[in-house]
């Protein structure tokens, strides 16, 4: 019997060499090439025992050929020279017969990227199934000892990506990521949490597990309160899911065309630009695109080759910029920005417990679940609380309450922010816990 080990990634030099070779082989007027290779591994557990252990090798070579205003892409997962040659030829054949693109853009010129090295943790890249299993075993042991059912996932990922084109654009990136999620359940009580880091050793796995077990125990036998507008303290994990909806919707084209909460219209409803520069949110709301943040240390470029650099997105509650794709940037006489990713929101030196202690009456929300649009134009969304919702009285958690459905304008929510905690990383976002003065709950739900 042979024990499974983590496969070895292609090196950046190997990936770079393949991309450069494809560009040389191309006979198109222009060509863009992207090659990503990675290893993804995940251990899943439920009812205090391992239920799934999987690993996947990810490899994709994509070739986009250009003839005038026509283009087409072809991809392969096989790096055999003959397979690469066929992929190039197929892309060229399709591009020749493709219709002209009415929003065609020329190939991207070479870009300037930040002079830094993204985080890549060798231990995380080589973390074995046995090592993941040992961590899961400790988590399940803590759950069993406390008498709760524990479930969740532990995953690791490593990837290398290079993009280039026939104008000389060349961008390379590599990264590692580790992610842990845990749900504790007992009777009608539950607790959920999640953390992400670029290194497996940075995840607070056992301390988070113990915290969530305590939350599940404390959330049993919840009381029902009337729906209405209440002050709310959001755990960072819950607030991260709501803030991301706001940042995703900072699209310049949607705003300029009247399809966004960032749109400005005249009296007849005709779009007349966007709301960049207006005081829209609480002065406490400070959001940046900051891939170099110490908790992130992500790459210096996007998948299309645009530079991913530090950008002030919201300063003192005032939107500073929108996300411009290359076509719309050209139409509006702006520089293309790429997406407003990753999200970093400035916090404070207070803890979540400090925010609770400063709240006379309100609700503690630990998770925002199943969030969906109600009205994209106003960015009103609906969703539910879950996995530990509590009533706050006189600066203390008084008792658990039944989960509530909310219908809330997220721009209005950001306008009601009046306190922040320290930041944590959740996925590719870094956000604090947040208190808002008013948040609208529309009904009680039966979710646990």
For residue 237, what are its two tokens?
């994990």
Query: Are 147 and 188 within one domain?
Result: yes
In a domain, 216, yes or no: no
Coil, strand or helix at 199: coil
Q: Which of 98, 409, 44, 29 is nearest to 242 (CA)?
A: 409
For residues 61 and 84, is the Cβ–Cβ distance under 8 A? yes
Query: Are 115 and 72 within one domain?
Result: yes
Instruction: List the beta bridge partners of residue 263.
Output: 274
Note the pLDDT of residue 58: 92
In a domain, 371, yes or no: yes
Q: Which of 217, 353, 350, 346 is nearest to 286 (CA)?
A: 346
Query: Are 231 and 175 within one domain?
Result: no
Provide the residue count of the chain: 448
Query: Are 175 and 282 within one domain?
Result: no
Coil, strand or helix at 244: helix
For residues 209 and 146, is the Cβ–Cβ distance under 8 A? no
Record the pTM. 0.94
Residue 138: which CATH number? 3.30.2290.10
Query: Are 188 and 134 within one domain?
Result: yes
pLDDT digits (tens, 9 = 90+) for 249-297: 999 999 999 999 999 989 888 999 999 999 999 999 999 999 999 999 9
Q: Which of 366, 412, 427, 411 is nearest to 239 (CA)?
A: 366
Residue-range definition of the domain harbouring residue 234: 222-250+277-320+340-448
In a domain, 73, yes or no: yes
In a domain, 271, yes or no: no
In a domain, 255, yes or no: no
In a domain, 60, yes or no: yes
Number of neighbouring beta carbons within 10 Å of residue 83: 13
Query: Are 146 and 48 within one domain?
Result: yes
Coil, strand or helix at 327: helix
Cα dihedral sign, 139-144-148-150: positive
DSSP labels, 57-125: EEEEEEEEEEETTEEEEEEES---HHHHHHHHHHHHHHHHHSPPPTT--PPPPP----S------HHHH
Query: Are 287 and 145 within one domain?
Result: no
Note the pLDDT of residue 7: 47
Query: Are 186 and 242 within one domain?
Result: no
Task: Say how many domains are in the chain.
Answer: 2
Query: Are 175 and 315 within one domain?
Result: no
Ranges of residues in the chain whose predicted pLDDT is under 70? 1-8
- How many alpha carbons lie under 13 Å from residue 327 in its C-beta half-sphere? 7
User: 114, exposed or middle or buried, with CB in 10 Å at 0-12, 13-18, 19+?
Assistant: middle
Angle at 299 between CA 247 and CA 128, to 5 degrees: 110
DSSP labels, 397-445: EEEEB--EEEEEEHHHHHHTEEEEEEEEEETTEEEEEEEEEEEEEEEE-
Query: Are 153 and 121 within one domain?
Result: yes
In a domain, 212, yes or no: no
Domain closes at, from 146, 179, 207: 207
For residue 307, what are its two tokens?
């530079």
Query: Are 18 and 147 within one domain?
Result: yes
For residues 293 and 308, is the Cβ–Cβ distance under 8 A? no
- How many alpha carbons lie under 13 Å from residue 9 in its C-beta half-sphere? 27
In a domain, 187, yes or no: yes
Query: Are 52 and 108 within one domain?
Result: yes
> Which residues does 2 contact at the CB level (< 8 Å), separation at least 6?
none
User: 389-393 and 361-365 as β-strands: parallel, antiparallel, unpaired?
Assistant: antiparallel
For residue 430, what are its two tokens?
């870094």
Domain closes at, from 147, 181, 207: 207
């Amino acid at each position: 019997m042979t024990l499974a080990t983590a496969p070895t990634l292609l090196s950046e030099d190997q990936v770079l060499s393949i991309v450069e070779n494809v560009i040389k082989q191309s006979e198109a007027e222009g060509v863009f090439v992207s090659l990503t290779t990675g290893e993804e591994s995940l251990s899943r557990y439920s009812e205090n025992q391992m239920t799934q252990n999987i690993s996947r090798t990810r490899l994709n070579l994509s070739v986009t050929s250009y003839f005038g205003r026509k283009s087409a892409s072809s991809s392969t997962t096989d790096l055999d020279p003959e397979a690469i040659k066929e992929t190039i030829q197929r892309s060229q054949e399709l591009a020749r017969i493709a219709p002209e693109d009415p929003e065609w853009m020329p190939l991207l010129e070479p870009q300037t990227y930040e002079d830094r090295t993204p985080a890549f943790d060798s231990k995380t890249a080589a973390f074995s199934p046995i090592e993941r299993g040992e961590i899961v075993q400790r988590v399940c042991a803590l759950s069993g000892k406390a008498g709760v059912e524990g479930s969740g996932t532990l995953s690791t990922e490593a990837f290398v990506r290079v993009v280039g084109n026939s104008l000389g654009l060349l961008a390379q990136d590599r990264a590692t990521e580790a992610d842990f999620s845990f749900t504790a359940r007992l009777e009608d009580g539950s607790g959920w949490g999640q953390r992400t880091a670029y290194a497996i050793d940075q995840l607070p796995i056992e301390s988070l597990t113990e915290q969530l077990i305590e939350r599940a125990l404390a959330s049993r036998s919840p009381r029902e309160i009337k729906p209405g507008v209440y002050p709310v303290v959001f755990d960072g994990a819950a607030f991260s899911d709501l803030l991301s909806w706001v940042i995703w919707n900072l699209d310049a084209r949607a705003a300029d065309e009247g399809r966004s909460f960032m749109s400005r219209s005249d009296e007849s409803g005709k779009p007349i630009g966007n709301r960049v520069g207006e005081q829209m949110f609480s002065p406490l709301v400070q959001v940046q695109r900051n891939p170099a943040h110490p908790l992130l240390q992500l790459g210096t470029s996007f998948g299309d080759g645009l530079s991913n650099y530090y950008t002030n997105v919201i300063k003192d509650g005032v939107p500073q910029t929108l996300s411009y794709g290359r076509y719309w940037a050209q139409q509006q006489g702006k520089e293309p920005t790429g997406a407003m990713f990753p999200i970093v929101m400035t916090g404070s030196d207070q803890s979540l417990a400090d925010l609770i202690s400063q709240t006379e009456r309100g609700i503690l929300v630990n998770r925002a679940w199943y969030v969906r649009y109600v009205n994209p134009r106003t960015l009103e969304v609906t969703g539910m609380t879950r996995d530990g919702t509590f009533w706050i009285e006189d600066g203390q958690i008084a008792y658990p309450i039944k989960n509530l459905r909310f219908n809330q304008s997220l721009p209005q929510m950001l306008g009601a922010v009046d306190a922040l905690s320290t930041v944590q990383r959740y996925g590719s976002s870094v956000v604090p816990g947040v208190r808002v003065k008013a948040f609208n709950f529309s009904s009680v739900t039966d979710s646990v």
